[in-house]
Amino acid sequence: MHIQPNSSPSVVLQHRGSDESKPCGIQYFVKMFPLSSDCVQSHHRSTIKQVVRKKLLAGRAQAGGPHGEKIAVSICVRNCSQKVVKKVKVMMQQHINEMLFSKSKFCSTITSTETSMGFSVNPGSSHQKVMYLVPTLATNCDRRRIALDGNINRKGTALASTTLIGSPDEWDAIRINMSYTVKVELF
């Protein structure tokens, strides 16, 4: 069996827990059936279907996804305005570019933290602070359109890893690309 190296990894887009439909995503299957000779057709009841998950394995320098690890966000604010900055909010967002039946893009905040304690930046001054984000599947289990590495009902399922995007002419026509960004808002 050979899966193209540039094909999309096995990814499922999570739907609401009350939704009874099958989740949308990319899965690979191997079908096996017994034959007594080349010209005999098998019966569908004799068919075995095996799910094969294609996982994206890459070093952290190339790609990765948040899987419950503590991520430090270093913030350096230089206030060149006439207003006092009193509060900071840091968010990690998962971006999904789905190319299945039609092209769709989704952006979901998977974790965030905010603080006003010890964070006041007067006009003309600067301030540095390190904040930590810990994205987990447990805090996102009831949210729609979150990309997962596998099925929500199985143990070991995690938030999907960032997709390594090569040249667009090497892509499959059907794929789901994921990426993560950190967004900082000042108030």
Q: How far is residue 64 from each of residues 16, 24, 158, 159, 180, measured CA to CA in Å?
A: 25, 22, 12, 10, 9
Model confidence at 61, pLDDT cuts 50, 70, 90, reads: very low
Would you list the domain boundaries of the chain? Answer: 11-186
Alpha carbon 123 to its chain centroid, in Å, reads 38
What would be the CATH architecture of the domain defined by 11-186?
Answer: Sandwich (2.60)
Q: What is the pLDDT of residues 39-58, one digit of tens each?
A: 666 666 778 888 887 876 65
Q: How far apart are CA 163 and CA 27, in angstroms?
A: 15
Q: Are 158 and 138 in contact (CB under 8 A)?
A: no
> pLDDT tens digits, residue range 77-134?
999 999 999 999 999 999 998 887 778 898 999 999 999 887 889 999 999 999 999 9
pTM above 0.85, yes or no: no
